């Protein structure tokens, strides 16, 4: 499967970004697969050329927090024209990529911004703090708070056709049933609820063709693949680690899961294929908590909180 990146090509270790002056905890690729945005404890969102491993710009606006971090979430629109950032200052900022201008600020949240997701058409931005989700219509400026059955948001993902928004609920709860809700992004109503028994999803992601929803349950070291036609679990993948921190599909359909000190990679169409793995050099008490595929599917960026960002091709 040549589209699975398994070799480390570059590692960013600029001390001014990842040393004592600051650290990265969230990242996102731009539409050209070259621009990489990084956020963390620094006062800025730093823009890097992922091919040449050099910083090409920075965006300043979020109020800096010295205790927990400044920028917790990033997302590019599919066309690459807009970058959304969510901060400890309880705001979402919308940036125009061509000139770095902040064009909109959304506020009124009760906690720091944990998750962001653009609709496929780029007309709606979903944003969540620890307890709520809001949908921002970027054309009209209207705001739609979702009426969810509980708080604690672990993941947001739009279906590829934009017809549904999947929200994983429950936060860091250790027990009980905390469902995934499927929301109609037009009216904000819950149209389907997934999960029963002792269930909670740590992360989720739709496949590019929309046929699968990958879900990482709270425990058990596994990833469930839900068939979106029947909304039943079609297959379970073993990950070899108690906890999955993040999930993502590449544009070619490869599935990645952040587990421990690596990102495991599968072809969901292969019945018994052994997963590949992008291993990230070990650092004590610093797990791979987030990663991102480039839109062309040829690169994978991994981030250990407080340490280096690595690019695999």
pLDDT digits over 214-253, tens only? 999 987 789 999 999 999 999 999 988 888 999 999 999 9
CB 183 within 8 A of CB 191: yes
Assigned domain for 5 exists: no
pLDDT of residue 20: 36
User: Helix, strand, coil: what percent of the chain each, to 5?
Assistant: 0, 45, 50
Distance set, CA 94 to CA 125, 129, 136, 179 (Å): 10, 16, 11, 30
CATH number at residue 26: 2.130.10.10
- Is residue 256 located within the same domain as residue 296? yes
- Cβ neighbours for 108, distance < 8 A, ≥ 6 positions apart: 90
Of the candidates 155, 219, 216, the one whose C-alpha atom is nearest the C-alpha of residue 182 is 155
Confirm if 150 and 169 have CB atoms less than 8 A apart.
yes
Q: Are residues 53 and 133 in the same domain?
A: yes
Residue 3 lies in a domain: no
Tell me if 254 sits within 8 A of 248, measured CB to CB. Answer: no
Mean pLDDT, rounded, for 174-178: 90
- Tell whether 75 and 158 lie within a shared domain: no
What is the rounded distance in angstroms from the CA atom of residue 37 to the CA atom of residue 42? 13
Report the 10 Å Cβ neighbour count for 108. 12
The pLDDT > 70 percentage for the chain reads: 88
- Supply the range of the domain harboring residue 58: 13-145
Same domain for 62 and 118, yes or no, is yes
**Residues 174 and 135 placed together within one structural domain of the fold:** no
Interior CA angle at 35 toward 255 and 28, to 5°? Answer: 45
Residue 44 lies in a domain: yes
Q: Which of 91, 115, 145 is the last residue of a domain?
A: 145
C-alpha span between 58 and 60 (Å, rounded): 7
The reply to whether 172 and 227 lie within a common domain is yes
Average pLDDT value for the chain? 88
Q: How far is it, in rounded angstroms, from Cα 16 to Cα 280?
A: 21
Q: What is the pLDDT of residues 86-103, one digit of tens each?
A: 999 999 999 999 999 999
Beta bridge partners of 96: 82, 101
DSSP 8-state class, residue 8: E
Q: Is the pLDDT of residue 174 over 70?
A: yes
Are 261 and 274 in contact by the 8 Å Cβ rule? The answer is no
pLDDT score recorded for residue 15: 35
Instruction: Evaluate whether residue 71 is within a structural domain.
Output: yes
Degrees, nearest 5: CA angle 225-121-265: 30
Whether residue 288 sits in one domain with residue 141: no
95 located within any domain: yes
pTM of the model: 0.92
My answer on whether 130 and 176 are in the same domain is: no
Same domain for 136 and 171: no
Longest dimension (CA), the chain: 50
Tokens of 207: 């496949």
Q: Can you tell me the distance from the alpha carbon of 231 to that of 213, in angstroms, rounded to the nearest whole number?
A: 9
Q: How far apart are CA 298 and CA 221, in angstroms?
A: 27
- Check residue 267 and report its DSSP letter: -
Examine the domain organization and report whether 179 and 89 are in the same domain.
no
pLDDT of residue 281: 65
How many structural domains does the chain have? 2
305 shares a domain with 162: yes
């Amino acid at each position: 499967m040549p589209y699975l990146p398994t070799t480390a090509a570059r590692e960013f270790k600029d001390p001014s970004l990842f040393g004592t002056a600051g650290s990265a905890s969230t990242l996102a690729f731009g539409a050209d697969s070259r621009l990489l945005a990084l956020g963390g404890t620094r006062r800025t969102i730093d823009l890097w050329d992922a091919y040449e491993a050099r910083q090409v710009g920075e965006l300043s606006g979020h109020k800096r927090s010295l205790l927990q971090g400044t920028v917790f979430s990033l997302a590019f629109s599919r066309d690459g024209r807009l970058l959304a950032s969510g901060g400890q200052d309880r705001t979402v900022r919308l940036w125009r990529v061509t000139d770095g201008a902040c064009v909109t600020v959304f506020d009124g949240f009760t906690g720091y911004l944990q998750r962001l997701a653009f609709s496929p058409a780029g007309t709606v931005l979903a944003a969540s703090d620890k307890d709520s989700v809001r949908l921002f219509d970027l054309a009209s400026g209207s705001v739609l708070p979702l009426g969810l059955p509980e708080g604690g948001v672990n993941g947001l993902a739009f279906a590829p056709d934009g017809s549904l928004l999947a929200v994983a609920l429950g936060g860091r709860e250790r027990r009980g049933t905390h469902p995934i809700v499927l929301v109609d992004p037009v009216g904000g109503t819950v149209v389907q609820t997934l999960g029963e028994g002792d269930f909670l999803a740590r992360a989720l992601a739709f496949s590019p063709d929309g046929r699968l929803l990958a879900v990482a349950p709270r425990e058990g070291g596994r990833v469930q693949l839900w068939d979106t036609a029947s909304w039943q679990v079609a297959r379970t993948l073993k990950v070899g680690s108690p906890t999955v921190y993040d999930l993502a599909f590449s544009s070619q359909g490869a599935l990645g899961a952040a587990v421990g000190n690596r990102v495991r990679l599968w072809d969901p169409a292969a019945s018994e294929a052994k997963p590949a793995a992008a291993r990230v050099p070990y650092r004590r008490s610093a797990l791979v908590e987030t990663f991102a595929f480039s839109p062309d599917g040829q690169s994978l960026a991994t981030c250990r909180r407080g340490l280096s960002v690595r690019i695999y091709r």
